[in-house]
Amino acid sequence: MFKPKSVAMVGASATPGKIGHVILQGLMKGFEGRVYPVNPHEEEILGLKCYPKVAAIPKQVDLAVIAVPAKLVPQVMRDCGKKGMRGAIIISGGFSEIGNKALEDEVRRIANKNKIAVIGPNCLGVYDSYSKMDTLFNPRYKMERPREGGISFISQSGAVGAVVMDWAGAEGFGFSKFISYGNALNIDEVDLLDYLGKDPSTKVICMYLEGTRRGKDFIKAAKRVSLKKPIIGLKAGKSDEGAKAVASHTGSLAGTARVWEAAFRQAGVVEARSMPEVFNYARAFAEQPLPKGGRVGIITNGGGFGVLATDACIENGLEVPPLAKKTAQEIRKKVPSYATVKNPIDLVGDSDYLRYEAAINALLKDKSIDSILCIVLFQTADIDSRVISVISEASDLAKKPIVCCAAGGEYSRLHSQLLEEAGVPTFSSLKAAADTLAAITYYDEFRKSVRK
Amino acid sequence: MLSMKAGFALLDKYGIPTAKFAVVKRVDAAAKAAKKIGYPVAVKIDSPDIVHKTERGVVAANLKDEAELRAGVKRVLKRAGKARVRGIIVQEHCSGKEVIIGGTCDAQFGDVVLFGLGGIFVEVLKDFSVRVTPITRRDAKSMVKEIRGYPLLAGTRGEKPVAIPTIVNTIIKASRMLEREPKIKELDINPLFVDEKGVKAADVRVITY
C-alpha cells in the first residue's frame, strides 16, 4: 500500500480538478513506482499511456487505486484479481455509508476470494512522506502535504484526515504515513495499528476514531503496540444516543464515553480530547525523551506564570517538588540575589539567556526532577533569540523532556516557531504545556506498570 | 431476571462469597429460617416485578429477634402491593462498607465490568470505574484506586482499611463470570459488603438474554 513498485490508477481522468486527475497528478510527484492510468475513453493522460482496462496493462501491477462510480467497482476488483494484484485502495463512495450494504458485501466477497487487501471504500486513501505514495484527492495548492517525520495518522474520517494533513503540512509537523480507511472493507483500525506498530519509520501513532467493530481485538492490538510506541487516540461520538433499555445500575451507568475511556486506559492509549491536543502530544512524543516520573522543574522569567504553571501541573497529577540543595546552590551562583531559586525558579524580568542556561543545566543534572517546563516571556527587554539556542542545545542532549511555554504576540510567536523547529514543543498556554507533560508521563507509567 | 437463589448460585460457582439466606413462603417458615441463620437478619421480597428493592421499601434490615422479624415480614409484604411475590428472602445480616460490582454488554467492546461504592456514590455522584473484559490484575487494581471514594476503602480517620485485595479478586472473578456465561446481559452485585476480612454479596441482579 505504501511502497508499491507499480500502481494502476483506475478511473484516471484527463479533466483537471476531477478526482481521477488529482490523484494521478499526486502519484506523479516524487513517487518512484510505475503508474498506469486506466480509462477506456482516453489514449493518454498527463503524458502517460492510458489503458482501457487493468487486463490491458502489459506488466505485473502491485496495487490498484480505484476511483470509479461505485457500481463499477465489483468489475474492476474482479479484473484486479485476475491480474494477480494483492492490494487496492478504493476511493469511491456510495457503499454502506449511504445504506448500500449489498454492494459493499459483494466487493468484500470478491476481495477476500482474490486475497486483495483493501483500504476503503469511501476514503482518501494513503500518503507516505517517504515513498511519496499519495492517493489524496485534494489538490496540493489547497491542501498541503506534511514533511517527513515520525508521526503516523489513522483516520476513520476522510474529512478530518484532510484537515489534519493540511494543518500538519502548514505547521511543519513531520509525518511518516497517513491512512484514511473509510468503510474498512477488509482492513480496519486493528490491522492498521498492528502494521504501524511494526513500521520502523513510525515513532508515534495518532488515531481518529468514530467506532470499532472489534472492540476487544482493538484493546489487544493497541496494548501490544503501545508497549513499543505511543498511541494517541481521539474518539468522536462519545455521547450516547438516546437511553438504552436497561434494567440494571451498571447498564445505565457504563455508557459509550466511559467504556471508551476504559478501553484506552487498558490499552495504554493516550486519550486526546481535541485535534490540537493530538498534535501537542504527538510532537512531544516524537521529539522528546520520556520522563522517568512526574516531578516537574519549572523555570520562568515572570513570577505569575510560575504560579499558574504550578497549578496546571498539580491539576494534572504532576508534582512540583522543592529543588535539591545542590541544584539551588549551583543556580544561585549564577543569578542575582533577587531571583527566586525555588521550584518554580523565577529568574525575574531582567533575566537574559545566561540565567536560563544556568537553570536548565542545573535541572538537567538534578535526579529529583523528571521533566522541565520552561516558560519564556519574550516581552521583556533582556530576552532575545539567544535563549533559543540555549534551550534547543540543552534539549538535544537531554535525557529528560523539555517543553516550553511562550505566550504573547508576534515576537513571541516567531520565537515559539524557532523553538518548535529546533524540536522543543512550545505552547502558548500553560495548560497545554502541563497537559502534554502529563500525557507523556502517563504513557511512561503505563509501560512500566505493564512490564512489571 | 434470575431469581435471587439462581443469582447466588451463579456467584457461588465463581467463588464470590454470598450471605447465608433462605427463601420461604410464609412468616412461620421465615421465623424458622431466621433461627437457623441466626439473628440479626434481614428480610426482603423476591419479585420479578421489583428491580430496585430498597427504593420500593421491600427490605427490612437488622431484625434482632422473632418479634421484629414477624413485623418486618408483614411490612415488606404490604409494601410489595400487587407485585408478584416469588418468595420471602431471609438473610444473614451483613455489615461493612457497601460496594457494587456490575457487568453489562457494550455494543462495541462486549462485556464490561463496573466498580463503585454503593448507594449515592455510584448513583448520584457517578463515582465508578469501568473496564472491558478480560480484566487483568493491573486493571482491577486501578479500578479500585481510581474512584474518588477510594480513601473510604483505604481507611480514613483511624479506620482500618477494608480487604482491598479481596475486592480486586472479586472484580476478576466477575470478569471471568461474564466471559464464561454468555447468557448474562446485565449484572449488579449490589450491595457487596466489604470489611477488613473480606467480601460478601447481599444481593444480586442478573438479567439474562
Q: Largest Cα–Cα distance in chain A? A: 82
Q: What percent of chain A has pLDDT above 90?
A: 83
Mutation site for B-interface testing, chosen from A212, A224, A249, A265 by largest number of B Cβ within 10 Å: A249
Concatenated DSSP letters for A101-147?
A: HHHHHHHHHHHHHTT-EEE-SSS-EEEETTT--B---S-TTTS---E
Nearest Cα residue in chain B from A253 = B126
Q: What is the mean pLDDT of residues A73-98?
A: 96
Q: What is the span of the domain harbouring residue A406?
A: 289-451
Q: Are B53 and B109 found together in one domain?
A: no
Q: How many domains, chain A?
A: 1
pLDDT digits (tens, 9 = 90+) for A8-61: 999 999 999 899 999 999 999 889 999 999 999 999 999 999 999 999 999 999
Q: What is the mean pLDDT of residues B32-53?
A: 90
Report the DSSP beta bridge partners of residue A232. A206, A270
Q: What is the mean pLDDT of residues A364-380?
A: 95
Q: Are B86 and B155 found together in one domain?
A: no
Chain B residues whose CB is inside 8 A of the A215 CB are 106, 108-110, 132
Write the CA distances from B149 to A319, B100, B125, B153, integer angstroms.
22, 13, 10, 7
Angle at A444 between CA B141 and CA A328, to 5 degrees: 115
Q: What is the mean pLDDT of residues B183-208?
A: 94
Q: Are B83 and B123 found together in one domain?
A: no
**CB distance A184 to A122 below 8 Å:** no
d(CA A86, CA A185) in angstroms, rounded, equals 14
> Of B92, B121, B145, which one is at a domain's C-terminal end?
B92
Which amino acid, one-letter code, is at A85?
M
Q: Are B109 and B181 found together in one domain?
A: yes
Q: What percent of chain A has pLDDT above 70?
A: 98
Task: Using a CB–CB cutoff of 8 Å, tell me whether B7 touches chain A.
Answer: no
Decide which of B82 and A106 is more confident.
A106
Q: What is the mean pLDDT of residues B84-101?
A: 93
Question: Is A66 among the domain residues?
Answer: no
Nearest Cα residue in chain A from B111 = A216
Task: Using a CB–CB cutoff of 8 Å, tell me whether A257 touches chain B.
Answer: no
pLDDT at A242 over 60: no
Chain A residues whose CB is inside 8 A of the B123 CB are 249
pLDDT, position A143? 78
pLDDT digits (tens, 9 = 90+) for A139-172: 777 778 888 999 999 999 888 888 888 888 888 8
Question: Is B177 among the domain residues?
Answer: yes
pLDDT at A182 over 70: yes
d(CA A83, CA A78) in angstroms, rounded, equals 9
Least confident among A146-150, A201-205, B102-106, B139-143? A146-150
pLDDT band at A245 (very low <50, low <70, confident <90, very high): low
Q: Are B104 and B42 found together in one domain?
A: no
Question: Is A113 among the domain residues?
Answer: no
pLDDT, position A256? 87
CATH number, residue B153: 3.30.470.20
Question: Is B5 among the domain residues?
Answer: no
pLDDT at A181 over 60: yes
Task: Using a CB–CB cutoff of 8 Å, tell me whether B49 touches chain A.
Answer: no
pLDDT, position B50? 82
Question: Is B138 among the domain residues?
Answer: yes
pLDDT, position A344? 97
Please, where are the H alpha helices in B14-107?
27-37, 53-56, 66-80
Q: Are B88 and B103 found together in one domain?
A: no
pLDDT band at B73 (very low <50, low <70, confident <90, very high): very high
Least confident among A9-13, A103-107, A371-375, A407-411? A407-411
Tell me which residue of A412, A452, A448, A430 sits closest to A296, measured CA to CA.
A430
Cβ burial A328-351 (10 Å sphere, 16+ → b, else e): bebbeeebeeebebebbbbbbeeb
pTM: 0.91
Question: Is A87 among the domain residues?
Answer: no
| Cβ atoms within 10 Å, residue B4 | 24
| Cβ atoms within 10 Å, residue A102 | 10
Task: Using a CB–CB cutoff of 8 Å, tell me whether B156 touches chain A.
Answer: no
Task: Using a CB–CB cutoff of 8 Å, tell me whether B125 touches chain A.
Answer: no
pLDDT, position B14? 97
CATH number, residue B32: 3.30.1490.20
Q: Using the beta-carbon criterion (under 8 Å), do B132 and A250 form an inter-chain contact?
A: no
pLDDT digits (tens, 9 = 90+) for A388-431: 999 999 999 999 999 999 988 998 999 999 999 899 999 999 99
Q: Are B78 and B112 found together in one domain?
A: no
Q: Are B119 and B201 found together in one domain?
A: yes
Question: Is A369 among the domain residues?
Answer: yes
pLDDT, position A241? 61
Q: Are B104 and B57 found together in one domain?
A: no
Tell me which residue of B129, B177, B130, B14 sits closest to A215, measured CA to CA.
B130
CATH number, residue A391: 3.40.50.261
Helices (H) and strands (E) in chain A, counts: 15, 19
Chain A residues whose CB is inside 8 A of the B141 CB are none
Question: Is B13 among the domain residues?
Answer: no
Question: Is B10 among the domain residues?
Answer: no
φ/ψ bin of A243: left (φ > 0), alpha (ψ from -120 to 50), beta (otherwise): beta
d(CA B87, CA B5) in angstroms, rounded, equals 10
pLDDT at A138 over 90: no
Q: State the number of CA atoms in the 13 A half-sphere of B14 facing the CB.
A: 21
pLDDT digits (tens, 9 = 90+) for A266-304: 999 999 999 999 999 999 999 999 999 999 999 999 999
pLDDT at A243 over 90: no
Task: Using a CB–CB cutoff of 8 Å, tell me whether A397 touches chain B.
Answer: no
pLDDT band at A246 (very low <50, low <70, confident <90, very high): low
pLDDT, position A249? 78
Task: Using a CB–CB cutoff of 8 Å, tell me whether B123 touches chain A.
Answer: yes
Question: Is A196 among the domain residues?
Answer: no
pLDDT, position B195? 95
Q: How many domains, chain B?
A: 2
> Of B92, B123, B155, which one is at a domain's C-terminal end?
B92
Q: Are B116 and B68 found together in one domain?
A: no
Least confident among A75-79, A433-437, B68-72, B157-161? B157-161
pLDDT at B51 over 80: no
Query: How many A/B residue pairs have CB atoms within 8 Å?
Result: 86
Question: Is A429 among the domain residues?
Answer: yes
Which residue among A215, A248, A266 places its CB closest to the CB of B108? A215
Q: What is the span of the domain harbouring residue B38?
A: 20-92
Q: Are B102 and B203 found together in one domain?
A: yes
Chain B residues whose CB is inside 8 A of the A263 CB are 109, 132
pLDDT, position A19? 93
Question: Is A370 among the domain residues?
Answer: yes
pLDDT digits (tens, 9 = 90+) for A380-389: 888 889 999 9
> Of B44, B63, B92, which one is at a domain's C-terminal end?
B92
